[in-house]
Amino acid sequence: MITFPWITTLTAVPLFGALVVLALGGRSKALVRWTALSFSLISLVLTLSLWHSFNSLADGYQFQELHHWIPSLNVDYSVGVDGLGLLMLVLSCIVVPIGMFASWKIEKRVPLYFSLMLVLQSCLFGTFTALNFFHWFIFWELSLIPAFFLIKLWGGSNSAKAAMQFLIYTMVGSVAMLMSFLAIYLATKTFDFTDLGHLAQSGKLMPAVIGELGWHLFTPQHTAMVIFLGAFFGFAVKVPLIPFHTWLPSAYSEAPTGTTILLTGAMSKMGLYGFLRILLPLFGVQMQLILTPLLWLAVATVVFSAYAALAQTDLKRIFAYSSINHLGYCLLGIFAVVKFTGGDVALTAQKYAAMNGVFLQMFNHGLTAATLFWFVAMLEKRTGGLRGLNDFGGLRKVIPVFTGLMGITIFSSLGLPGLNGFIGEFLIFEGSFSLVTWAAALSIIGLMITALFFLGTLQRVFYGPLEAKWMSLPDLTLSERLALIPTIGLMFTLGLYPQLILGVINHTAIQMALQLRNF
């Protein structure tokens, strides 16, 4: 029985849209913008239909497609989604329209800009659905091209340097990861994630690699660790994990805000997705061997990035460091799940909680961070590009609706109960406190510092004396309010009814945690 290729269609829609947008060329800029947005919304409709048809209790991947591609190398075109992959597709379909709305007033090379955004969306879809490393790596690398040009061609005064730094960091990480997987392929003759996962679960993966590539100066354990570290570095740069984060603040602050939304809302999740989809099932043993250093890196990512945000005066740099801080909670949860607990039923349940929290945090951070940067874009549009804390004060007196909605988003990012940011962080800390108590306790420092810089931002931008030059600053227009309703509404919906997502991802989270039971 031939089934419809939903995932291939989904991946092709934004790519086709990019070609259509380019073909429009010098015609009406408004037509270009609306065409690009329409293709992005078509992708959202397709993804929501997959969500509706998804069986949340089924094992394995759904909507799978398998076609032999390069038989001589055992490379297949293999795609499918589980709860995690589907959640990331939905997130991508939400973030890209937000990025487009934030870029609506861009006037320079409009067709090229929006076509690159659609190409990037297609690469995100390919990354979150590919089940073969060869196919997956193509999309992973292709995503760098539109991101590089979006930063370089439409960014700020230092955009060329920021774009090059972004490209070099991520390329070096990708090369290291590619070398590790080539080593695995030479030993196993497969790129298939499922096959490699089964080999790892049976304890045959690393012995096969060591038997094929072992070097007399390296012990088998050292050889396995080198291969793991190569893959780890590729994903750590993408998240990013401190100390591999130095490309991010400049890239986020120099990129046009619509591009920053895509970088923080979706592309950063590619790194976390790699941790969950690849590192956990294939390198669980190696992660357990160096679990303490990994936990220290997670704590540093949470605490140091929050402290760095506290020292910033540029809104985009504040939210950039805040993004690192919130992704650090995901890393804490992932590393906590790695801890060996034997057959302890209570601790196993805490692993399930932490894993569900990681999934939720990935989605909720993407939503709230994208919306925060969207508010920055609207503020820049009204003030001629200003976004410094020292540039404002008392704005709530003239833009109360803007202040209220941005305040909701900030409190969501703070993890206020009743908003979407709370439940993910709660589940991560609930699981982590039982599994890695000291790391979770130290990470609380990051939560407290986060409250300081977010509340400080609210105080300095929206309260205090109002400068005369901002007396006529316009509040949100009707179209802006209507555009914000879905995202703000989703923050409340997920805060009050997180089961909307948990009901879909819980089975996948449990299955991922169970992959580590034999390690």
* Helix/strand/coil (H/E/C) assignment for every residue in 454-486: HHHHHHHHHCCCCCHHHCCCCCCCHHHHHHHHH
Residue 323 covered by a domain: yes
State the residue for tokens 């589980």: 82
Q: What is the pLDDT of residue 73?
A: 84
The CA distance from 19 to 36, in Å, is 10
Let me know if 456 is exposed, middle or buried by CB neighbors in 10 A (0-12, 13-18, 19+).
Answer: middle
- Mean pLDDT to the nearest integer, 2-10: 87
Q: Quick one: which of 480, 487, 468 has its CA closest to 413?
A: 487
Q: Show the DSSP H helices in 130-219 as ranges.
A: 133-142, 144-154, 159-188, 193-201, 205-213
The 10s digit of each residue's pLDDT in 16-75 is 999 999 998 777 889 999 999 999 999 999 999 999 999 999 988 999 999 988 888 888
DSSP class of residue 130 equals B
- Closest among 360, 242, 364 to 299, alpha carbons compared: 242
Residue 100 maps to a domain: no
Distance of CA 107 to the CA centre of its chain: 28
Residue closest to 381 by CA, chosen among 317, 462, 474: 474
Whether 235 is covered by a domain: the verdict is no
Q: To 10 degrees, the CA torsion angle through 111, 117, 121, 122?
A: 40
Q: Which is more confident, 346 or 481? A: 481
HSE-up of 463 (CA within 13 Å, CB side)? 8
Where residue 212 falls among pLDDT bands split at 50, 70, 90?
confident
HSE value, Cβ hemisphere, 13 Å, CA-based, for 514: 9
Domain presence at residue 344: yes
Helix axes 291-310, 315-338, angle to 10 degrees: 160
pLDDT the model gives residue 42? 96
Nearest alpha-carbon partner for 5 in 65, 77, 47, 56? 65
Q: Is 175 exposed, middle or buried (0-12, 13-18, 19+ CB in 10 A)?
A: middle
User: In whole angstroms, what is the distance from residue 339 CA to residue 357 CA?
Assistant: 16
Element (H, E) at 15: helix 6-24
Given a contact cutoff of 8 angstroms between Cβ atoms, the answer to whether 244 and 237 are in contact is yes
CB distance 76 to 66 below 8 Å: yes
Other beta carbons less than 10 A from residue 68's beta carbon: 10
Q: Is 180 within a domain?
A: no
Contact 155, 212 (CB under 8 A): no
Residue 399 dihedral angles phi and psi, to the nearest 5°: -130, 65
Number of domains in the chain: 1
Q: Which residue has the higher pLDDT, 517 or 389?
A: 389
Residue 15 has pLDDT above 70, yes or no: yes
Q: What amino acid occupies position 242?
A: I
Q: How confident is the model at residue 343 (pLDDT cuts 50, 70, 90)?
A: confident
**What average pLDDT does the segment 186-200 reach?**
89
pLDDT given for residue 468 in this prediction: 87
- Domain containing 349 equals 290-519
State yes or no: pLDDT of 519 exceeds 60.
no
Burial of 445 (0-12, 13-18, 19+ CB in 10 A): middle
Per-residue DSSP letter, 155: S
For residues 162-166, average pLDDT: 91
The whole-model pTM stands at: 0.94
Identify whether 44 is part of a domain. Answer: no
In a domain, 217, yes or no: no
Q: What is the pLDDT of residue 517?
A: 61
Query: How do residues 446-478 score in pLDDT, each as one tens digit?
Result: 999 999 999 999 999 999 899 888 999 999 999
219 contacts: CB under 8 Å, gap ≥ 6: none
Average pLDDT, the chain: 91
Confidence (pLDDT) at 215: 63
- Cα-based angle 443, 362, 456 (whole degrees, multiple of 5): 55
* Amino acid letter, residue 12: A
**311 in a domain, yes or no?**
yes
